[in-house]
Amino acid sequence: MHDSSLHRARLPLALVASTLAWLALAAAGPAQDRITGRGFATRSEILAMNGMAATSQPLATQVALDILKQGGSAVDAAIAANAALGLMEPTGCGLGGDLFAIVWDADTKKLHGLNASGRSPAGLTLAMLRERGLERMPALGPLPVTVPGCVDGWFELHRRFGKLPMAQLLAPAIAYARAGFPVSELIAHYWARSAARYARFPNFAETFLVDGAAPRKGEVFRNPRLAATLETIAREGRDAFYRGEIAKKIDAFMKEVDGLLRLEDLAEHRSEWVEPVSTSYRGHEVWELPPNGQGIVALQILNLLEGYDVRRMGFGSTEYIHCFVEAKKLAFEDRARWYADPAFQEIPVKALISKEYAARRRELLRPDRAGRSYPAGNPAVDEGDTVYLAAADRAGNMVSLIQSNYRGMGSGMVPGDLGFMLQDRGELFDLAEGRFNSYAPKKRPFHTIIPAFVTRGGEPFLAFGVMGGATQPQAHAQIVVNLVDFDMNVQEAGDAPRILHEGSSEPTGERMRDGGEVFLETGFPYASIRALVQRGHRVGWNVGSFGGYQAILRKDGVYHGASESRSDGQAAGY
């Protein structure tokens, strides 16, 4: 499952008619609510007082709970779960990827943000890429590889908020890597799709295949190579990865495959602690991390929606879907224009997420017609396949963490016998000159993975995230609207049918054409879909790109956990 746009299958035309008929039948009358919640709810919230974890793999959730029961902090639990997911869900994450996190510290009652994304190789220039005849960065191979930030992110989080030794946190993943674990259903599906894509690359089959094939659902998979790498990290610390034995193996491999990532790039890497940024939405403070990620898109969308009576519109109404899609289009034009590495460009974050800017931009929206294109705004005139997990502990600390190799399992580059694949995050650089996200050496690319947090009255309210590339900020905004405007509980907010708009302008240089396309999950009234078409929206059919949600909400001292009904995940507490 890759984070740039989860693997997607378009419905065959033969199925569209039957799907429309089913939707029409479902929309014939209001759905009967379950006794415990909305008709679309798949399960009740999980409730607990002492600790909670929500991940996309039940075994990883149990790893996190075990760490909490051993006296670990929320951050300890998150690191242990992330290490397990790197083994159990290599289709979305791993040691070769990047990491972002937002941590609520119960002692200081403050949020802390960590940007653990890596930079481009110092020895690769834009001129070199252009000399190869490239107009955009390839998705696979050595060129899109950037420094993996995950391991340094673990150690930075642990240094500030950890309680148990790192070796204890990595022990469950090491044990599973050696003894094996049964592959879950959805991951087996994406693993099989990845096998054909990566089979030609060195070390892939030896690391990720069993007798030449991807492991099937229920088949036990082992990765002793990854176990050995994690043991080295547990024993020697983060420098083993960035300066020692592991770094040297990565360097040697990249030279073999004509890559440009070098030992010096790894040795110079450092994560960055950043201040989360927020906007208010009807009495709630919604927090994201500033660029190079796309988190503030969600804040821009919410600022635009706050000018409408969304509650009156109602969930699933034509008016709500239309306003949401148009707000998304506006925000994504700014995303394409302004979002990049702030070390290379001055990004007007404060202006972009201001209420005044939203009010000006809202004037561009027509209530009766879909926009075919929108210009990026100029806020300066005002003032100058991913995994997500959440964990919370007895003391009230909460962490929102996301980690990814980007597209698919990554670049295809599996260094030596290390047991993991390097990310292809550099694919998101723009290869044109003079733009905010244009490629440069030692630069962090535009990033799609984003953790989120909500506070209320200065207290922690919700740690949440939704995997899935450009789906993520759209889904973040929808989760908040579902909770605040439509009075859903935390599980219902994730189960509710989602809206996804594709085709906006991109930070890689592509421009929106003909207004893009709207995709709606099953469950929206057919009357709303028909009315959207009449307003000029192109509505398509899309299976599998609606994201992967995990969340932990805190209310009156009780944790409420929720896990994505579209995947293999689990929320659990004790």
| 386 annotated active-site | yes
Q: What is the 3-state secondary structure (H, E, C) of 34-49?
A: ECCECCCCCCCCEEEC
Choose the catalytic residue: 207, 386, 455, 471: 386
Contact 290, 446 (CB under 8 A): no
Q: How far apart are CA 497 and CA 62, in angstroms?
A: 28
- Our CA angle for 568, 116, 403, nearest 5°, is 10
Number of residues in the chain: 574
Would you say 59 and 566 are in contact if contact means Cβ atoms under 8 Å apart? no
Residue where the block lists tokens 């290379």:
344
User: Is 40 within 8 Å of 565 (Cβ atoms)?
Assistant: no
Of the candidates 225, 294, 244, 363, which has an alpha carbon nearest to the alpha carbon of residue 504? Answer: 294
Element (DSSP H or E) covering residue 225: helix 224-236
Pair 188, 89: CB distance under 8 Å:
no
13 burial type by CB count under 10 A (0-12 exposed, 13-18 middle, 19+ buried)? exposed
Count of beta carbons in the 10 Å neighbourhood of residue 229: 27
Q: Taking Cα atoms as reference points, which of 239, 388, 257, 360 lies closest to residue 300?
A: 360
Distance CA 168, CA 73 (A): 12
Cβ atoms 330, 338 nearer than 8 A: no
Cα angle 261, 263, 267 (rounded to 5 degrees) comes to: 115
Burial of residue 527 (number of CB atoms within 10 Å: 0-12, 13-18, 19+): middle
What is the residue-wise DSSP string for 81-146?
HHHHHHHH-TTT--TTSEEEEEEEETTTTEEEEEEE-----TT--HHHHHHTT-SS--SSSSTT--
Cα-based distances in Å from 20 to 16, 502, 518, 529, 530: 6, 21, 16, 10, 11
Tokens of 564: 């994505």
Cβ–Cβ < 8 Å for 548, 166: no
- CA-wise closest residue to 471 among 544, 533, 375, 535: 544
What CA–CA distance (Å, rounded) separates 19 from 24?
Answer: 9
Distance CA 390, CA 324 (A): 26
DSSP string for 425-466:
GGGGSB-STTSTTB--TT-PPPB----EEEEETTEEEEEEEE
The residues carrying an active-site annotation are 386
